[in-house]
Structure 1
Amino acid sequence: MQEHKATPDKEAIALLPEFERLGLDRISLVCTGSEAHQAHGQLIAAKAWGFDTESKPTFRVGEQSDGPHILQLATAERAWVFQLHEPECRAVAADLLARSGIAKAGFGLGDDRKRIVHKLGIEPQGILELNTIFRERGYRKDMGVKGAVAVLFNQRFIKSKKAATSNWANARLSEAQLVYAANDAYAAIRVWHALGL
């Protein structure tokens, strides 16, 4: 019988020291074909990436999102934020996600996967839902990035609600959006390494 491990609550997490996030000097915005090919060359050297997507939020009932609008991939050193409105960026992003042999680790990826299939026309390979790993290790409820960072690093992962619900379809992303998006993927790869996967 496996013992159930507790996930720290919001109050406990709020008391922890801050998780050190990537700054803009370690985040590459990818919005042209040449930037996408350069990112591709750097990314395929890794055996795993932190992975996430962002879509412009929908606020009206029945409104369908045409996201994802950006794709975030990260190694333990840096992150790349691909804007998917540019056809060549989209093609490179599709190639990266369709590659087998490279784990793409993240949290709550079911919706991301469906949207990627719809938008990029590929079935992403090597998707690793980190919540599943935590469940296998005895944690009962969905961990999410905040819980995982608290459990593994004893630190608090900060997520801006304002950035989360901002317009990810904008041609020009703000610095706050870049930092938010990149660090979701960066925290996921750090968690992947810490889990010894």
Structure 2
Amino acid sequence: MAINGNDDTQTMYVSFYDDNIFTTVTKDHRYVTAWISETTANINRHRQIIGLDVEWRPSYQRGVENPIAILQLCVGHRCLIFQIINARYIPPSLFNFLNNPNYTFTGAGIHVDVEKLVQYYGLGGADNGRRLAADVVDLVGQAVQIYGMSVNGLGLKALARMFLGKEPEKPKRVTTSNWENYRLSDEQIDYASIDAFLSFQIGMVLI
């Protein structure tokens, strides 16, 4: 349900089971900075865990990989979808947020996501390696390490079912859609919000 919107920014609630996720979708660096400012003011009660996910337009050409199109962040029931590929400017506040050593970013297969963020947008730490200065925890690896699970078939959907008793829908028409669209569809926004929300929620369980 959209609450407010213009060409660069939309705010809305996304429903998932009994949860309402307040989502900001934006290309505007000012809204990114505002979201980060509001989030950091309340992050301590969430143990400084942040769900992180990214999406990019699939490539069907061998050896060709498209850059990240959107970055999703979530703390509590507040999510940000930053359309980074369509942004005119990436604010320093985002760099500082991603590289705060007091924060732990969680997601399924998150190390690949981080490498792509660094590769395409230079959002890594001062060592210029393909990583963030913040702590980064792969939820799949965490589940395997703690519970001895098999990594085969273990992704965000399976983790959500196992640890939260909730299973997100992941229709192929959305997962393989064009994430570089200037205006994301409602289905894309729902999908991206829920993935970031689950990355946070499962992180709170496993860490």
With normalisation by structure 2, the TM-score equals 0.77
Return the alpha-carbon distance in structure 1 between the equivalents of residues 204 and 65 of structure 2.
35
Count residues in correspondence: 176
Residues 1:160 and 2:171 are matched in the alignment: yes
Select between 138-147 and 125-134 the one with higher mean Cα deviation.
138-147
Residues 1:131 and 2:140 are matched in the alignment: yes
Q: Kindly report which structure 2 residues correspond to 1:83-162, keeping only aligned pairs within 5 A, or say none.
A: 83-84=83-84, 85-89=86-90, 91-123=92-124, 124=132, 125-137=134-146, 138-142=148-152, 143-162=154-173
Q: 1:36 to 1:59 in 2, by over 3 A?
A: same
Residue 182 (structure 1) shift: 1.2
Which AA in structure 1 matches 2:138?
A: E
Return the alpha-carbon distance in structure 2 between the equivalents of residues 176 and 92 of structure 1.
28
SS of match in other structure, 2:68: coil
Q: 1:21 to 1:182 in 2, by over 3 A?
A: farther
Return the alpha-carbon distance in structure 2 between the equivalents of residues 167 and 90 of structure 1.
24
* Residue in 2 that maps onto 1:171: 182
Residue 154 (structure 1) shift: 2.4
Structure with the higher fraction of residues in strand conformation: 2
SS of match in other structure, 1:88: coil
Select between 69-78 and 134-143 the one with higher mean Cα deviation.
134-143
Residues 1:20 and 2:17 are matched in the alignment: yes
Which AA in structure 2 matches 1:42?
A: E
Q: 1:87 to 1:95 in 2, by over 3 A?
A: farther
Which AA in structure 2 matches 1:121?
A: G
Which residues of structure 1 form unaligned runs of 5+?
A: 1-18
With normalisation by structure 1, the TM-score equals 0.81
Residue 105 (structure 1) shift: 0.4
Which AA in structure 2 matches 1:86?
A: A
Residue 88 (structure 1) shift: 2.7
Which AA in structure 2 matches 1:166?
A: S
Residues 1:42 and 2:51 are matched in the alignment: no
* Residue in 1 that maps onto 2:6: none
Q: Looking at both structures, which has the greater relative contact order when contacts are Cα pairs under 8 Å and sequence separation is at least 6?
A: 1
Which residues of structure 2 form unaligned runs of 5+?
A: 1-15, 125-131
Residues 1:76 and 2:76 are matched in the alignment: yes
Return the alpha-carbon distance in structure 2 between the equivalents of residues 35 and 120 of structure 1.
18
Provide the alpha-carbon RMSD of the alignment. 1.9
- For 1:36-58, what per-residue CA distance to the aligned partner results, in whole angstroms no more than 9, with x for missing partners? 11111122232111100111111
* Identity rate, percent: 23
- For 1:23-44, what per-residue CA distance to the aligned partner results, in whole angstroms no more than 9, with x for missing partners? 5x61111221221111111222
